[in-house]
Structure 1
Amino acid sequence: MPHLQFEINKKLLDGTKREFYKKIRDTFSEVMNTGVDHIAISIKELNRFDVSIGRAIEGDDICLMNLDIREGRSIEQRRELALRFMSIVNELFEIENRNQYITFTQHKGEDFHLIERYLATWAKGEDPLA
C-alpha cells in the first residue's frame, strides 16, 4: 500500500486535487504494474515559507514528495515514476520542475496494513487486494 505524500507551499482548489489524485493513482498503477485500490495519497498544503529547498528562489512554489513504496521496483521504474510525477505537479500545481524533490522509501510488503490483511511482497501485475 504505497503512501504518496506531497507537501506544497500553496493552496489548491478541490477540483485540481481530484484531478491530481486520479493522475497520480493511474500513473503509479501503470508504472509500478499494480492495481489502484490500495494507493494512498496525501497533500499537505503549507504556508509559503513552511517548505524550503536550497535551489529555489525565496518565495517560489515548492513541492516535496515522500513516496513510501514496497520493495522490488527497479531504479528504472522509480526514475520513470519520479519524472512523471514531476510533470503532473508542474502541469496541475504550476510548480517548476527545479523546485520539486522526491524521496523514495522502500518497505517490505508486511509493513503495509489494511483491515483485511497486510500486503505480501510485490509481484509484477498483481492486485494486492484480490
Structure 2
Amino acid sequence: MPLLQFDTTLTLPDDEKRQFTDAVTDLYAEEMATTTGHVAVVVREHESSNLSLGRAVDGPLLFLNADVREGRSFERKRAFALAAMELAHERFGVPEANLKVVFSEHAGEEMMGVDRVGGDWSRVEE
C-alpha cells in the first residue's frame, strides 16, 4: 500500500497530473512487482520559494517521498526511482539536478486502508 508523494514547483493542468499519476502508478507496479489497485499518488504544487535543493539549477524542482512496505531490494527501489525521475525529466523538463527521491520503509501492518491491513511483502514471480 505505497504512498507516493510528489512535491514540485511545477504548475500542471489537471489532465497532465492525472496522466502523470497514472504513469507513476504503472511504473511502481512494474518495478516493484505488485499490482496497481493499492498504489496512492499525491501531487502537491508549491511556490518556488517553498522548495529548495542545494545542487539545483534553474528550472522546476520535483521531489518524491515514497512510503513503501519494507522488504524490497535496493535494486528494485533504485529502478523505480530512476524510472520516476526519467518520467518527470522527459514529460515536464525538470532538470536531473532538480530531482530527488527518498524512500521510507514501513512494516506491512503500518500500511492500511478501510478494507485491509497490509502484510509482509513477498516476492512474486518475476
Q: Report the alpha carbon displacement of residue 101 of structure 1 after superposing the two structures with TM.
A: 0.7
Q: Structure 1: which amino acid aligns with 2:5?
A: Q
4+ residue stretches of structure 1 with deviation over 4 A?
A: none
**What does residue 4 of structure 1 align with?**
4
Partner of 1:113: 112
Q: CA deviation at 1:13?
A: 1.1
Spell out, residue by residue over 1:12-71, the C-alpha distance to the aligned partner (whole angstroms, 9 max, x if none): 0112111101110001001111010100000010001110100113x5310111000000
Q: What SS is found at the alignment partner of 2:37?
A: coil
3-state secondary structure, aligned to 1:69 = strand
Opposite residue 9 of structure 1, the aligned amino acid is T
Provide the aligned length of Structure 1 versus Structure 2.
125
Instruction: Tell me the distance in 2 between the aligned counterparts of 1:69 and 1:22.
Output: 18
Give the Cα–Cα distance (whole angstroms) in 2 for the partners of residues 5 and 71 of structure 1.
17
Please give the root-mean-square deviation of Cα atoms over the aligned residues, in Å: 1.3
Q: Find the aligned partners of 1:125 and 1:29 in 2 and give their Cα distance.
A: 12
The AA in structure 2 aligned to 1:5 is: Q
State percent identity of aligned pairs: 34
- Show the counterpart of 1:44: 44
Partner of residue 53, structure 1? 53
TM-superposed deviation, 1:93: 2.2
Alignment partner of 1:69 is 2:68: yes
**Unaligned 5+ runs, structure 2:** none
Quote the residue 2:87 is aligned against: 88
Q: Equivalent residue for 1:17?
A: 17
Distance 1:31 1:67 in 2: 13
> CA separation in 1, counterparts of 2:124 and 2:27?
14
